[in-house]
Amino acid sequence: MIGQGLNRVDGPRKVTGRATYAYEYWDAGQPLYGVIVGAAIGKGRITRIDTENAEQAPGVRMVMTHHNAPEQGPRDESIPFEYWRAQPVLTGPDVHYHGEPVAFAVAETFEQARAAAALVEVEYAEGRGHFDFAAHEGDAYAPKKVNAGIATDTAVGSFDAAFHTADVQVDQSYTTPYEFSMPMEPHACLVVPRGEDLYVHVSCQIVDAAQASVAATLRTDPARIHIVSPYVGGGFGSKLGIHAETILAALAARALREPVKVALTRQQMFQLVGMRPTSRQRVRLGAGHDGQLTALAHDVTAHTNRDVEFAEQTAATTRSLYAAPHRLTSHRLTPLDLPRGSDVRAPGEAPGLLAVESAMDEMADALGMDPVELRLRNEPAVDPERDVPYSDRHLIDCLREGARRFGWENRPATPASVRDGRWLVGYGMSAAIRGHFQGPTAVRVRWETDGTAVVESDMTDIGTGTYTVLTQVAADGLGLPPDRVRIELGRSEHPTSWGSGGSWGAANSCTAVHRACATLRERVLTAVHADTRSPLHGRNSSHALFSDGHVHIGDASEALSEILTRMPPEDLEAEGETRFMGDDSNYADYSINTYGAHFAEVGVDADTAEIRLRRMLGVFSVGQVLNAKTARSQLIGGMIWGAGAALEEEAVVDLRSGAFINRDLAQYLVPVHADIPDIDAIILDGYDDKANPLGAKGVGELGICGAGASVANAVFNATGTRIRDFPITIEKLL
């Protein structure tokens, strides 16, 4: 079962509307609706806020502002991860960014709530905000750590001396814009009070974090907060934590003793749920004429919100990518009065590899060397900064297999040398690398007496295929057909997981299921061995086979549904778990990563500079694949996002107000089908025995890693023009 491209087991529920999303529950009766009023300035103070007209409008039940909002728990920086901290809102008159919630209107219908929100009168004393990243880069400071607890700076050897004496040098800066996770399902919740308890139906990636965060903000016992999140319409990092809509709905539901639901508008998602910070990245590469890198530096400056620090780990994977004896990486933050930065798919690697893999292309060009060959010559024997072996590194296999399948030998050796009618044609490639993470995750697997297995965890399926891969691993582990496995996810009453994020969800939860199934198999075998009523009694169970709902030993077999009726109830369920990577010696002793190679072909109109992607191919190494179909879908989705990062995505700040000008999907461009003509993702067979007993590693975020650079490098190969300010739009290329 493991690895097969099983169709999504939740697919029929989704396409027939039986999969219930956070906003869609009606079992608690008619809810109230909440609408958030956002600040109309980017920096300053509320001097007057008048809610009288709003409160008297039809159907209105409550208007909350900083004057009457309940006291909330403060953000506690001693809690190691932001997503488990309190997220207080409406805490005072100060405005920290454009669109920050200043009021919350609750009414009997959505239309009444929206009308009331429009009647809230706010006056401000506008301050002088810092909105311009380039103008304030000089204010940058070094954060203590970057995201995920990673070191801010690293240095190995003597970079300066090695760089200055290198035969060939590349020293370039690249800029990347503000980018947003824009899951199809907006951030939404329905909070239902029952007695002292709140049932929070919320679209989230990590149920445990949502529970902790709501409880800390409301200053209540986490046991009183019940998170329900069985279906999530995408997250991409923006639902790792909960946001203002959930806190406000919970505060109002608690105060009014009635269900309250809130969904953010698409425009509010550009203000309230975090974004990928803008960055300027300087990459310096020094190499000998033979293409061996001697010096490699990656220095990053990014924006942070003043109030809530977020340092994207943009240079982190550069530390493990190529051999070079002399190396530097650094991260600096420029505080701005803009919404907070946050995790957006492949935080760090996505913008970081865009820069580093563009610089590698510049180095190949300067050396007159094939870009694939340049990467092959800089393959490290051990992780060059951690000085530990790689667990299972197949970057070279990805490069060679990709080059062969793509027909890389047909690449125009000279930029701007191949024309196809109006189109200048170019090929580009890039390497991909991403760290693999393991977190604490528990699942429970229990038999029902008819031989059906039920898997329970607070793990989420954010569209990635969790239901399906867990079904496969449980079916494999217990010898059941997949339709005899039921998966129950997304409830805080279930065993606690690290949820979906960082591409760790599938490997963590599947490993935990794998372990629980091993425990259950052992129990069954012990029971039949001792049980004189079983045809398997006394047989040597080391040759036992679980298949088709039966246990077979030699020529004897018995149905699980028979065996289970004779077992004590406490033996019918088992928990399995994975540990935090910091407590697992393999993660200290090995550099555990996933790898890939991207190849792209573009056509650039010789007159208008219109860029059309012609082909994209990615070849990836992720250890054991859990489901060939869902894994490929994840990788292709990432590659498309990478193409968007190269060519389209950019949120633009109005430097007067600090507002994002293009805050909707009409003006914030993402690729559509017509932009992506021919794309494929190939996954190499693999198994990483250092990662976990399934040999499986993260998939979701690898696809975007490096994908944009392959497109950018193809644009250079087509035109001979290098654009270092992403996205590469027509006016920059002309």
**Which residues make up the interface to ligand MOS (CB under 6 A)?**
205, 235-237, 240, 343-345, 347, 501-502
Residues 6 or more apart whose CB falls under 8 angstroms from that of 215 comprise 221, 222, 224, 225
Closer CB to ligand MOS, 237 or 727, in the complex: 237
Closer CB to ligand MOS, 199 or 236, in the complex: 236
Closer CB to ligand MOS, 34 or 435, in the complex: 435
CA distance 233 to 461: 9
Answer whether 238's CB lies under 8 Å from 269's CB: yes
Q: What are phi and psi of 683, to 5 degrees?
A: -115, 125
Task: Please identify which of the residues 82, 185, 648, 701 carries the catalytic annotation.
Answer: 701
Closer CB to ligand MOS, 205 or 627, in the complex: 205
Closer CB to ligand MOS, 243 or 539, in the complex: 243
Radius of gyration of the CA atoms of the chain, in A: 27
Nearest approach in angstroms of CB 697 to ligand MOS is: 15
Nearest approach in angstroms of CB 409 to ligand MOS is: 36
Nearest approach in angstroms of CB 448 to ligand MOS is: 33
Nearest approach in angstroms of CB 455 to ligand MOS is: 22
CA distance 367 to 634: 35
Closer CB to ligand MOS, 451 or 499, in the complex: 499
The helix/strand/coil state of 410 is helix
If you search the block for the tokens 């490997």, which residue do you land on?
507
Closer CB to ligand MOS, 378 or 441, in the complex: 441
Nearest approach in angstroms of CB 499 to ligand MOS is: 9
Nearest approach in angstroms of CB 237 to ligand MOS is: 3
Answer whether 575's CB lies under 8 Å from 444's CB: yes
Closer CB to ligand MOS, 42 or 351, in the complex: 351
State which residue has the least CB distance to ligand MOS. Answer: 237
Closer CB to ligand MOS, 384 or 465, in the complex: 465
The angle formed by the CA atoms of residues 3, 4 and 5, to the nearest 5 degrees, is 120
Nearest approach in angstroms of CB 100 to ligand MOS is: 22
Nearest approach in angstroms of CB 240 to ligand MOS is: 6
CA distance 423 to 420: 5
CA distance 301 to 133: 10
CA distance 341 to 733: 29
Distance of CA 88 to the CA centre of its chain: 24
The helix/strand/coil state of 653 is strand
The angle formed by the CA atoms of residues 547, 552 and 555, to the nearest 5 degrees, is 135
Answer whether 218's CB lies under 8 Å from 73's CB: yes
CB atoms under 10 Å from CB of 641, counted, come to 25
CB atoms under 10 Å from CB of 57, counted, come to 18
Closer CB to ligand MOS, 459 or 718, in the complex: 459
CA distance 596 to 684: 10
Name the strands in the sheet holding 550-553, side by side, starting at the edge strand that comes first in the sequence: 545-547, 550-553, 556-559
Largest alpha-carbon pair distance within the chain? 85
The angle formed by the CA atoms of residues 634, 636 and 637, to the nearest 5 degrees, is 65
Nearest approach in angstroms of CB 5 to ligand MOS is: 23
Neighbouring-strand partners of residue 284: 171, 297
Q: Is 24 a catalytic residue?
A: no
Of the chain, the end-to-end C-alpha distance in Å amounts to: 52
CA distance 678 to 675: 9
Length of the chain, in residues? 734
CA distance 323 to 326: 9
CB atoms under 10 Å from CB of 728, counted, come to 25
Half-sphere exposure of 187 (CA within 13 A, CB side): 31
- Please give the positions annotated as active site: 701
